[in-house]
Structure 1
Amino acid sequence: MKAGAMRGLLVVSMSIFVRRIGRNLMRLPLCLAAVVAVLGAGPVFAQGDYPAKPIRMVVGFPPGGGNDIIARLLGSKLQEAWGQSVVIDNRPGAGSIIATEIVAKAPPDGYTLLVNASGMVINPSMYATLPYDALRDFEPVTMLVSFAFVLVVNPSLPAHSMTELVQYAKSQPGTLNYSSAAAAFQLAVELLKIQTGISLNHVPYKGSVPAITAVLANDTQLTIVDTTAAMPQIRAGKLRALAVALPRRSPSLPEVPTMA
């Protein structure tokens, strides 16, 4: 494998979950899925008397990241469609475990929704114990979007490609720090380390925005994050994108090569 190459397709899929009520599916998943399917395609009406009060949408990451942006866009559409307030409740920390636990302990009435991504699948494999059971306690409603991963560096780093990054990291072992926003992003960098033989120090953060801010401040020198969160800083020239984790170049970043 050539220097800088990275096998595999890395994306993070974002979905909505609701607290499960026994073994019976709620009307909510059908209603919400219908709204998501026709976003922007015309009027949508709530089923029966749902929702009869404001909806709480819990997001496991800080404002400004991909999960938060999509949740707010969706919340605005649902509010318009249902005629009820949709409150975005950001509860960052512990790779979305805090937010997931909140929803797991909420009343199972369909009025508290969880917007989550890969942590719903990854966390049960990374932690011996969790304050919830992802399969038993939750009902998936719908998948919303999938984000590609992008590796970005501080522009002061003397690396303009993955090959140059690997070469520089090998020449300065143990001196480069990377920030991560969640388990999926951390695992992506750890995979890169294994496949290229470089040494990087991990610094965890509660979300994509603080992870990116750390790179901007040069507290960390690189990170892998979702393209949605990184795009404004890439476009402004404040971050340098080295590669996207896709089989082909991203239409939104056509000038950035793939990691393969």
Structure 2
Amino acid sequence: PQYLFRSSQFGDDVDRPVRKSDGSWTYFASDIAYHRQKAESANLLVDVWGADHGGYVKRMSAATTAITDGKASLKVILCQLVRLFRDGEPVKMSKRSGNFVTLREVVDEVGADAVRFMMLMRKADAPLDFDFAKVLEQSKDNPVFYVQYAHARICSVLRKGREELGKSLQDDDLLKVDVRPVDDASMALVRKVAEYPRMIEQAARNCEPHRVAYYAHELAALFHAYWNRGKDEGERFVDPEAPDASMGRLVLARMTGLALARALHVLGVVPVEEL
């Protein structure tokens, strides 16, 4: 006989088979067992599925409620598909003809850090166009490069500060510097860095890692603007003849670098110190 799970009693539209009439188990049965195991160590279960599995959410949510007596809940994040492009042209794939590109091949070509960052630069419900050429491009149009370049630039200016000012620039020393933002660019940096704890909390609470990628990109843009403003006005970032002003700028650089590095670490991306 066929066995049914009375999922309709837990919010599903109909009851679902877990065992077929020939005695074999359905995929749904193994999914129930998997979520039962997950529920042994958590009361919030998070699944990441493709958008084409949206019709499966109700039955799995019902099963989670049933097997945990309502003590655990299921959150399903549906992700849209990723389209691959090469030189502006879509990469044609077909499972039927055996023509497809694996994630391993993408990682081998552009690197794990680039893949992670680009995948997380979009909300889960937004489709992603992944262009191999753009991901490897060294320009501001490539968000991976843009953020990493900001971090590398910060590391470079801190090294220069140690050399030209003859100071160790340890964090304990920087904490003693009287930093008073005197212009809009530096104030914007301070405000953005201060947003980091709240941003992380919101990203975690809502299961939205794209918030972290957005933040890193926005912070990088503010630092690049701050850097370029000084160049446009003929002001050296590190000036031995103006040590107090230089130390203030280095403090801003250091705190920006820390926030950038921590955001990248959350995304599983290794911040680079040189490019």
Classify the TM-score, shorter chain: under 0.3
* Bigger fraction of residues in helix: 2
Higher relative contact order (CA 8 A, sep 6+): 1
TM-score w.r.t. the length of structure 2 is 0.25
TM-score w.r.t. the length of structure 1 is 0.25
Q: Which has the larger radius of gyration?
A: 2
